[in-house]
Every structure is written in C-alpha cells, then in structure tokens.
Chains A and B, each alone.
Chain A
C-alpha cells in the first residue's frame, strides 16, 4: 500500500534561514510522483513543487527545492530564505495509480517562521 510519512509535527525557523521538511514514502510502483503543498489557515492547498520518479534532476521552484533520494524513498522540501508568510502547514503527497490518479497525503508539518 502507498504511504507518506512526515515525522515532524512542527518546525521552527528564523526569517531568512533555510529549513528542510522531511518526507518519506512507500510504494511498489515504478512510476509515481511526489508533491508538496502549503496550507495556510484559510484552508486552501497551494501547490509548491512536483517531482516525478523518473526525473533525474531535483525539482526547483523559486525558493523551494525538492531533495529527492530515490534509494532512500525520501522527498524532502527545502525552503531557502524563509519569510514570515511561509508560516503554514506543509503536506507531502504522492500520486498513485495510472490514468485517473489520486493523491495520498502525509499528516503534515506545521512551520513557524519567527522574525
């Protein structure tokens, strides 16, 4: 069965510092993809970054990068130069199945950025 594990319930970081949010996954599929979403208190899930299992390069989107280590089944999110507006819940998710794909989510990590 596919599963996402996020072991950090909460993380604290100072403004302008970098922070790494951990995510490990379990799947027997060869083709899969990993997402990171940000969920502010308003509730909307905001897409941050995506990494496909066959992508050789780690994905980057602005201040976000995904540290993909396939052999270790980890897909950690790195946020560089944290900003106060980065304070939110962060969810790692995996797309499963072919064709009509669903997302399996972890339990999330709450990030608090302090001035």
Chain B
C-alpha cells in the first residue's frame, strides 16, 4: 500500500516564475492539506482540499493556489515566486474514516528560488 507521494522531489526556480507541485494521497484518503516548512521552522498550514474544494486556508497570499482532482490527488501552484518561497512543501492526507485523526505526510518537495 503506497503512502502519500509527492513530485518532484527537488525543484529550482527563478524569482518571478511559477511552479506546480503534485501530491497523491494514501489509498482510502480523501482530504489533502499542504504545508510550507521553511528551514529551521515547523510546518505552516497553507490550505486544505476536500471534495475538490478549498475548505480552509492559512495565512498565505493569493499567489498560492491549489486544486484537487476527482481521484483525490492535488496540486499546489505558486505564482510570481519570491526568494522567501524557498522551503520544503509537505502534503498530508486524511482517511475517509473520520474516527481517525491521523494525518499522513509525504516526503515533501524541496523548492529553491534563486
């Protein structure tokens, strides 16, 4: 049973460019959340998707947007990249069984903006 997968593993972009990160949730999971983890910090919540809609959003500008597909996979898009967007981007999924609060994380995408 595959866990949460993310692609790509690493990415280098230039300021002003746009980037798309991808996440496939664990089997049996339907809710996907995205987190940004700057170097030396804990992850910060970006947003959460359920039933193809954004359900909650953290304190991130509109340059950060996302999408969830019918197969529950998700994309995170960041426009007009800034140097400060350099971070590890983590995707987490939650099971359809709401009696479980556990969130499973993927290995992350390390984004470097130069």
Contacts and interface: CB of A to CB of B under 8 A. Distances in A.
Contact of B107 (A37, A43, A50, A52): A43
Interface residues of A, number: 26
A68 B42 CA distance: 21
B103 A103 contact: yes
A108 B108 contact: no
Contact of A105 (B33, B42, B94, B108): B42
Interface stretch (B14-22, B48-56, B61-69, B76-84): B48-56
Contacts, number: 62
Interface centre among B56, B58, B103 (most CB of A within 10 A): B103
Interface stretch (A14-22, A70-78, A94-102): A94-102
A52 B104 contact: no
Interface of B: 31, 33, 35, 40-45, 48, 50, 55-56, 58, 88, 90, 92, 94, 101-108, 110
